[in-house]
Structure 1
Amino acid sequence: MRSFDVSALHEPPFASRRHVATDRVATESLEWARGQGLIGVGPSTSRLHRAGAAELAGRACPQAPVARLRLLTDLFSWLFVMDDICDDDGLGSAPASLAPMVAALLDVLDQHGGPTGAGASTGRDRPAGESASRADRDTPAGALGVALADLCRRVLDQHRPTLLRLVSQLREYLLALLWEAANRERRRVPGLAEYRQMRRHTGGVRPSLTLTDLAYGRPPGPVRRVDPALVALDDLTVDLVCWCNDLFSYRKERDSTADPHNLVTVLAAQHGRGEAAAFQVAAGWFNDGLAGYLAREAALVAHAGPTVKPYLAARRAWLRATYDWSMRADRYAGSAGEPGGTQPPHRSQG
C-alpha cells in the first residue's frame, strides 16, 4: 500500500533518452572517485555506486561528448560524497565541525583548483584527472579538496567562463550546507519562503546545470545570463528538480533522522497539515510548476527564437532525467511502492 503515492506527480512531457556511454562512464567515474581518495572499500563505494551519478548525467546529457559527460558525472560523484558526509556521517548536524571543512573547500574554489597553501600539492603540477597521492589527501580540505581541485582544473582547461560560474555556484552550495547544519542542530524547520530560496543552493543543481550547458557545447553568454526570462526559467527548473527530489526522498528522510529540509516537512509545519496531506500539496506545487515551466518556455521561444534551443534542451533533459532517475535509482530506497521505494541532488542532484 502506498502511503505517499508518487503517481500524483505529472510526468515531464519530454523525450526520455540515455547516453550510449553511460555504463562505461559509471565505471570510470567510480575509479576516479577512488583515485582521488573520495571512497575506499566497503560502504562508501557501495553508497556511491547506488547513487547512480552516471545514470543521471547520461540522461541529462544524452548526446554530449564523452569527456564532458565524464566531467558532469564526476561532479555528481563529488556532490554525492559530500552529501553522504553531511547526511549519513553526522557532519551535517554539527555546524561547528562542518565549518572548517567548508572553509578549506572555499579556499580550493578561491584558487580555482591551484595550490591552496604552503607545501600544498594540489596545483597544476599534477595533470587533471590523475590520482591523488597521500600527501594530496592530507591537505586541509582532504580528499574532497583534492577532487574539487581536479574538477576545477578540468573545467578551466575547457572553458574559463564556465569555471568562474561554477566556482560561484559551488561557493553558494557550501555556505548553504552550514545553514542546513545550523537548522538540524537546533531542530528548526525553516519557513516556506526561506526554504524555497535556500533549497536552490543546497540541491547542487545550479553547478550541475552549468556543466550541463558546457556539455551541450553552447553555454549562454553574459547577455543571455541576465535576461529576466532566462533567469526565471532557470529558477523554476532548479525548483522543479529539487521538489521532485524532495518528494521521492521523503520516505527515507522521514524514516531516518526526520530531516527538516524537505518541502513536505516544511509545508506540514507551516500549514499544520498531516504528512499525507502535505505530500499532496507538495505534489501540486510540482505539477503547477511544471505547467508554468511549459508556458514560460513557449514564451521564451517566441521572444528569443532558435538561439535558445540548446539552453532549453538542457533544461528539458534535466527535468526528464531527474524524474526517470528518481524512479529507477535506489539511493533513497524505502519500502516498496513508496517515494524512494524504486529510488535522486543527492538530495543534492546532483
Structure 2
Amino acid sequence: MAFPGPAAPPALPVTARRHPEAARLTRHAQAWAERFELIHGAEDARRLARGAPAELAAAMLPDAPRPEAELAACWMTWTFFLDDAYEEGPGGTTTAWSAVTDTFRPLLAWQPPPPGAPPLFRALGDLMDRLRVLTSPAWRRRFSGHLADGLAAVRREIELRDAGVPPTLAEYRTLRRDTSGFVPTLDILEVCHRAELPRTVYDAPRYQDLLRAAIDTNAWSNDLYSLDKEVACGLVTNLVLILEHERGLTRTDARRTASAMIEERAADLTRALHRLTPGDAPLARCATAVAHLVAGWLEWHARGTDRYTAPAPGCAPVPPARTDPDRLSGPRAPGRAHG
C-alpha cells in the first residue's frame, strides 16, 4: 500500500526505466545484508523485501554497469537501515545519536570501523572499501563531508522531534536535503556511471542548481508518502506538517500545496538540465543520470512499497505529544484546522 504522493506525476525530461538485472541486484543486496548481520531472521528479511531498497536502486540507475549497480543496491539498503535506527530504533535520542556519530568518525576518515563495531558500521566500512578503489582522494573527501553533514542534520531532526516543534520552511529546505541521504547518493551516482566530476564542474552553480532541484523533488515527494509513518514516529521535519504549522493550512490543503511545490521543483530540474553547457561528456552522463534517478525514485514510490505504512513492529512507542500534529508546540498560524 502506498500513501498519496504528488497529485499528478511531475513532468520530467526522461521516462522511468528499470535496470535489466534488477532481480540480481536484489539478491546481491540481500546476501550482503545477511553477511553483515543487518538482517536477523525471517521477519527482517520480509521487511527488507517489502521496503525493496535494491528495487529502488534498480529504478534510479537503469543504465549503470552491473558491478556499480550492485554497489548502489547495497548503499540504498544500508541507508534504509540507518534511517530505521533513528526513526524507529535505539538511535533516536540525541545522546544515542552522538554515540553513533562518534563510531562513524574513523569511517569518515576512510579508516576501518573500530573492533566490535555493530553491523551498521561494519557494513558501511565494506561499502567504503569498495568505493575507495573506484574513486579519487578528492571524491572521497567530498563524500565523507556529505556523510558528516547528514549525520549532523539527523541530530537536528532528533532535537526538533524531542521539542515537538517543526522547523521553519526556510530551515527545512536546507535541513531536508541533508537528512534525505540524497547528497552522498548523488556522489555515488558519479561512481556508478564512471564519470567522477572535478570540483570545478561539481561546484558550478548550474550543476548545483540541478542537484538541489533533484534532491528537493525526491525528498518532498517522500514526505507525502511517509507522512503517517513519520507522525507515528514523532518526526516533525516533514513538508506537510511544516506547511500546516507555518501557514495555518488544513492537512488536505497542505498536501495540495506540497504537491504544487514538487511540480515546480521538477520544472526547475528540467530548466537546470537545459542550462548546462553541452560538450562535456562526463557532465552530460551525470546530468542525465540525475534525471533518471528522480524519475526512478518517483516511479518506485508510485508503484508501491509498504516501507511507509507503519513503524516497525516492536519499535518504542512515541509519546502522544510527539505524534499529534495539533499538539505541536511553538507559534503557528491562526485558523489552523485539519482536513
Query: Normalising by structure 1, what TM-score?
Result: 0.82
Deviations 1:42-96 (A, max 9, x none): 433222222211111112211211110011111111110011111122532x111
Give the whole-Å Cα distance in 1 for the aligned partners of 2:298 and 2:5. 14
Contact 2:135-2:196 at 8 Å conserved across structures = no
**Stretches of 4+ moved more than 6 A in 1?**
none
Matched, 1:171 2:148: yes
Q: Which residue of 1 aligns with 2:80?
A: 80
Matched, 1:148 2:148: no
SS at match of 1:297: helix
CA displacement at 1:215 relative to structure 2? 0.8
- Extract unaligned runs of 5+ from structure 1: 121-137, 335-350
Task: Give the % identical residues.
Answer: 25
Give the whole-Å Cα distance in 2 for the aligned partners of 1:203 and 1:75. 14
Give the whole-Å Cα distance in 2 for the aligned partners of 1:26 and 1:227. 35
Kindly report which structure 2 residues correspond to 1:186-205, keeping only aligned pairs within 5 A, or say none.
Answer: 186-205=163-182
Structure 1 counterpart of 2:273, one-letter code: E
Contact 2:4-2:225 at 8 Å conserved across structures = no
Contact 1:4-1:276 at 8 Å conserved across structures = no
Give the whole-Å Cα distance in 2 for the aligned partners of 1:115 and 1:67. 22
287 and 63 in structure 1: CA distance in 2 versus 1, 3 angstrom threshold: same
Kindly report which structure 2 residues correspond to 1:209-220, keeping only aligned pairs within 5 A, or say none.
Answer: 209-220=186-197
Give the whole-Å Cα distance in 2 for the aligned partners of 1:223 and 1:276. 43
SS at match of 1:260: coil
Contact 1:162-1:211 at 8 Å conserved across structures = no
Give the whole-Å Cα distance in 2 for the aligned partners of 1:79 and 1:229. 28
Contact 2:108-2:148 at 8 Å conserved across structures = yes
Contact 2:6-2:262 at 8 Å conserved across structures = no
Q: Which residue of 2 aligns with 1:52?
A: 52
Q: Alignment partner for residue 115 of structure 1, among 109, 112, 115?
A: 112
Contact 1:95-1:178 at 8 Å conserved across structures = yes
Q: Which residue of 2 aligns with 1:223?
A: 200
Q: Which residue of 2 aligns with 1:103?
A: 102
Q: Which residue of 2 aligns with 1:347?
A: none
Matched, 1:313 2:292: no
Give the whole-Å Cα distance in 2 for the aligned partners of 1:30 and 1:224. 35
Q: Which residue of 1 aligns with 2:336?
A: none
CA displacement at 1:33 relative to structure 2? 0.9
Give the whole-Å Cα distance in 1 for the aligned partners of 2:5 and 2:112. 49
Q: Alignment partner for residue 297 of structure 2, among 316, 319, 322?
A: 322
SS at match of 2:133: helix
Give the whole-Å Cα distance in 2 for the aligned partners of 1:15 and 1:212. 18
Give the whole-Å Cα distance in 1 for the aligned partners of 2:23 and 2:4. 31
Kindly report which structure 2 residues correspond to 1:118-129, keeping only aligned pairs within 5 A, or say none.
Answer: 120=115
Contact 2:161-2:235 at 8 Å conserved across structures = yes
| Larger displacement relative to structure 2 (220-229 or 245-254) | 245-254
Give the whole-Å Cα distance in 1 for the aligned partners of 2:266 and 2:124. 33
CA displacement at 1:333 relative to structure 2? 3.2
SS at match of 1:105: helix
Q: Which residue of 2 aligns with 1:274?
A: 250
Give the whole-Å Cα distance in 2 for the aligned partners of 1:224 and 1:316. 17
Give the whole-Å Cα distance in 1 for the aligned partners of 2:48 and 2:144. 23
Give the whole-Å Cα distance in 1 for the aligned partners of 2:90 and 2:254. 27
CA RMSD of aligned residues (A): 2.0
Structure 1 counterpart of 2:129, one-letter code: R
Structure 2 counterpart of 1:16, one-letter code: A
- Extract unaligned runs of 5+ from structure 2: 311-339
Kindly report which structure 2 residues correspond to 1:2-17, keeping only aligned pairs within 5 A, or say none.
Answer: 6-17=6-17
Q: Which residue of 2 aligns with 1:27?
A: 27
Q: Alignment partner for residue 263 of structure 2, among 277, 287, 293?
A: 287
Q: Which residue of 1 aligns with 2:70?
A: 70
Give the whole-Å Cα distance in 2 for the aligned partners of 1:100 and 1:90. 11
Contact 1:29-1:70 at 8 Å conserved across structures = yes
Contact 2:244-2:250 at 8 Å conserved across structures = yes
Structure 2 counterpart of 1:272, one-letter code: G
Give the whole-Å Cα distance in 2 for the aligned partners of 1:227 and 1:154. 28
CA displacement at 1:277 relative to structure 2? 0.5
SS at match of 1:296: helix
| Number of matched pairs | 306
Deviations 1:211-237 (A, max 9, x none): 111111112112201211111211111
